[in-house]
């Protein structure tokens, strides 16, 4: 463009590209750390299915609008971000980052191209725009280098928020309350500090799994901390309905009973449904009485905004582009940014399959040259094509996972779906327990003592379930139903229950012949989540079989389905226990049901 001025800066980093990329390609946090203002994006669907993105923001005295083009990138190598302005002092701005291995480190080249639109724009560039930008970018590059070397928790440093005096005092009081409630004083203080000094990008959707990773502590401890912080008034919680393409939160509600059955993503121009175990996420925000986090974007598009997208390029009609890229073998999805078909590929040898977009959709073609991703646009308009990993969001605390945690069930017992509403869950592992010979137990030790013993045994079971990241769904007479998002954790809890029940009986002052004997069954599979008696509950054949397997237990053993035993993580735990394969005819199932039985004498210390 006429009058374009450019500046290039070169940085040398101690760490390899894959360590530097997560910081410098995190354009939202980068822009916030550079003190750029938040902006608003208007998304306008077009007749051909694409979307035009228009940004609006205020830069000093100027109210500026621009066309936001999708960022192009190749993970760990390069990104290019272009904006074309409709008004204001600039006509266009293009930023390009290129990372190249340099010994054991990285050479980073940042190119900034700016086209002034008028006299004021030319004066702005002459007045030190590039000099000021270089100073800021040099600081951020240094912080990125420290982060890559493990010397900082966050990619960039942010100035602590200036809280009003009342908010600061309230924060101090609530953090002390959390310290007392949780016994985790260090974690409570770190959460308080994060609320003050965290970036707005992080605080708008505060993710406890990310904090656990940054703080190097168990995930459950941070999840429970955040749940208690909601009850205390320090945080608020939001149920986000994530788009399966961009994985952004397009709908956020304050309670499960407001969760819609689906949503529309204007960014991707698609409609999508909810899935409790996949795209319903629980996130948190600081309470408004502590710190207000305004809405808006620091960057709508960016490599780390959608880290599952490993290559994204915009091609002209009829264009074929070979993109150098080093992708690991694995499962990928080939698609366009907007509707128009997709192709799933499992790549394990040879060159990466071509991504071909034509009138019939998107398909995988012949293998490209090694180290190359070939993209082909056979349509009659510009098309943004991408390659994405099929792994889901690493730091997403799904609704399925959090509702199978005991702390959530205890603290938010009334958090449930609308009456008549139901949500499918792809896989949940259920534990059913019951007492063997409970009628005889009442006769042996008396009603009052037996009643107290049963209540204590409920607490014993709940403790084992909670310690393995599960939740007690309900009790039925002397029986317990518990749920787990992780099948291996369900087996760990079952082993803990049966391994320690003799000690429980001794602690209750019972002779071996008078103690409780627990029958236990495990099974996992798809379920329907509903609200029953004002609490979340599970229904379906998975529930029925788990209950029937408990009926096959003799007491002191564990009976689990063959389907659950086939889970890789469960199989590892079972291997030293030498389970016996059996089958039986059970009520509600036409064919005999096969299962495995772990006998009491087989228990080993498996951790």
Superfamily name and number for 416-602: Nucleotide cyclase, GGDEF domain (3.30.70.1230)
Beta bridge partners of 44: 52
**What span, in angstroms and rounded, lies between the C-alpha atoms of 607 and 604?**
9
Q: What is the pLDDT of residue 513?
A: 74
Instruction: Extract the tokens encoding 270.
Output: 């698609």
- Is the per-residue pLDDT at 604 higher than 50? no
Calculate Rg over the CA atoms of the chain: 28
Which of the two residues, 414 and 352, has the higher pLDDT score?
352
Phi/psi of residue 471, nearest 5 degrees: -145, 140
- CATH superfamily of the domain spanning 5-148: START domain (3.30.530.20)
pLDDT score of 605 = 42
Q: Which residues contact 95 (CB under 8 A, 6 or more apart)?
A: 80, 81, 82, 110, 111, 112, 113
Q: Mean pLDDT over residues 299-312, rounded?
A: 90
pLDDT (average), residues 569-586: 93
Half-sphere exposure in the Cβ direction for 242 (13 Å, CA): 23
- Identify whether the C-beta of residue 136 lies closer than 8 Å to the C-beta of residue 32: no
Q: What is the pLDDT of residue 607?
A: 41
Write the burial class of residue 111 (CB in 10 Å: 0-12 exposed, 13-18 middle, 19+ buried): middle
Q: What is the pLDDT of residue 575?
A: 93
The answer to whether 96 touches 82, Cβ cutoff 8 Å, is no
Domain spans, the chain? 5-148, 165-286, 309-389, 416-602
pLDDT tens across 153-167, in order? 889 998 888 999 999
pLDDT-derived band at 601, boundaries 50, 70, 90: low
Would you say residue 12 has pLDDT above 80?
yes
Instruction: In whole angstroms, give the CA distance from residue 464 to residue 480.
Output: 12
- Report whether 525 contacts 427 (CB < 8 A): yes
Cα angle vertex 476, ends 473, 482, to 5°?
25
Beta pairing, strands 372-377 & 353-358: parallel
Spatial distance between the Cα atoms of 246 and 312, rounded to a whole number of angstroms: 12
User: What 3-state class would DSSP assign to 523?
Assistant: strand
Mean pLDDT, all residues of the chain: 91
Per the CB < 8 A criterion, the answer to whether 555 and 544 are in contact is no
Cα–Cα dist 478/335, whole Å: 53
Which pLDDT band, with edges at 50, 70 and 90, does 509 fall under? confident
What is the rounded distance in angstroms from the CA atom of residue 464 to the CA atom of residue 492? 9
Residue 319: closest CA among 373, 383, 387: 383
Which is nearest to 132 in space by CA: 145, 114, 117? 114
pLDDT of 442 higher than 90: no
Confidence category of residue 602, pLDDT binned at 50, 70, 90: very low
Tell me the whole-structure pTM to 2 decimals: 0.86
pLDDT digits (tens, 9 = 90+) for 217-239: 999 999 999 999 999 999 999 99
């Amino acid at each position: 463009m006429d009058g374009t001025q450019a500046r290039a800066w070169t940085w040398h980093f101690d760490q390899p590209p894959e360590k530097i990329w997560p910081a410098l390609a995190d354009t939202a946090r980068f822009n916030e750390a550079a003190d750029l203002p938040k902006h608003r994006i208007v998304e306008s669907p077009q007749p051909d299915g694409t979307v035009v993105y228009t940004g609006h923001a205020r830069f000093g005295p100027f109210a500026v609008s621009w066309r936001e083009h999708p960022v192009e990138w190749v993970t760990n190598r390069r990104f290019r971000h272009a904006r074309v302005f409709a008004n204001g002092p600039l006509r266009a701005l293009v930023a390009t980052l290129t990372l190249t291995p340099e010994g054991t480190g990285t050479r980073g080249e940042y190119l900034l191209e700016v086209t002034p639109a008028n006299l004021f724009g030319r004066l702005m560039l002459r007045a030190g725009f590039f000099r000021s930008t270089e100073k800021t970018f040099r600081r951020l590059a240094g912080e990125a280098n420290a982060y890559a070397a493990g010397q900082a928790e966050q990619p960039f440093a942010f100035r602590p928020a200036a809280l009003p005096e009342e908010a600061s005092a309230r924060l101090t009081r609530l953090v002390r309350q959390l310290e007392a409630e949780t016994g985790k004083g260090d974690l409570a203080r770190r959460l308080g500090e994060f609320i003050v000094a965290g970036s707005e990008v992080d605080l708008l959707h505060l993710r406890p799994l990310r904090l656990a990773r940054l703080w190097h502590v168990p995930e459950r401890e941070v999840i429970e901390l955040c749940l208690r912080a909601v009850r205390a008034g320090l945080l608020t919680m939001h149920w986000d309905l994530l788009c399966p393409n961009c994985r952004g939160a397009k709908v956020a509600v304050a309670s499960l009973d407001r969760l819609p059955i689906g949503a529309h993503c204007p960014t991707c121009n698609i409609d999508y449904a909810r899935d409790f175990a996949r795209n319903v996420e629980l996130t948190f925000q600081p309470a408004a009485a502590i710190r207000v986090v305004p809405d808006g974007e620091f960057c709508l598009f960016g490599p780390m905004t959608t880290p599952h997208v490993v290559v994204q390029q915009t091609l002209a009609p009829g264009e074929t582009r070979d993109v150098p890229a080093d992708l690991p073998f694995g499962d990928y999805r080939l698609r366009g940014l907007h509707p128009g078909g997709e192709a799933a590929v499992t790549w394990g040898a040879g060159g990466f399959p071509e991504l071909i977009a034509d009138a019939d959709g998107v398909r995988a073609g012949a293998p490209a040259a090694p180290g190359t991703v070939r993209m082909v646009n056979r349509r009659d308009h510009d098309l943004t094509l991408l390659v994405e990993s099929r792994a889901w969001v690493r730091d997403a605390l799904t609704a399925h996972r959090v509702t199978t945690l005991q702390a959530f069930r205890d603290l938010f017992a009334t958090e449930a779906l609308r009456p008549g509403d139901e949500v499918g869950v792809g896989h949940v592992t259920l534990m059913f327990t019951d007492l063997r010979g409970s009628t005889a137990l009442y006769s042996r030790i008396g009603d009052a003592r037996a009643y107290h013993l049963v209540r204590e045994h409920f607490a014993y079971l709940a403790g084992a379930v909670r310690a393995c990241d599960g939740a007690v769904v309900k009790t039925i007479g002397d029986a317990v139903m518990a749920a787990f998002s992780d099948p291996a954790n369900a087996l760990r809890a079952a082993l803990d229950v049966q391994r320690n029940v003799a000690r429980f009986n001794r602690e209750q002052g019972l002779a071996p012949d008078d103690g409780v004997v627990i029958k236990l069954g495990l099974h996992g599979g798809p379920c329907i989540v509903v609200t029953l008696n004002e609490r979340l509950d599970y229904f379906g054949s998975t529930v029925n079989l788990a209950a029937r397997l408990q009926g096959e237990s003799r007491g002191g053993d564990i009976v689990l389905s063959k389907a659950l035993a086939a889970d890789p993580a469960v199989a590892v735990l079972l291997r030293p226990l030498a389970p016996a394969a059996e089958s039986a005819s059970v009520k509600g199932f036409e064919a005999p049901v096969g299962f495995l039985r772990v006998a009491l004498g087989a228990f080993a210390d498996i951790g």
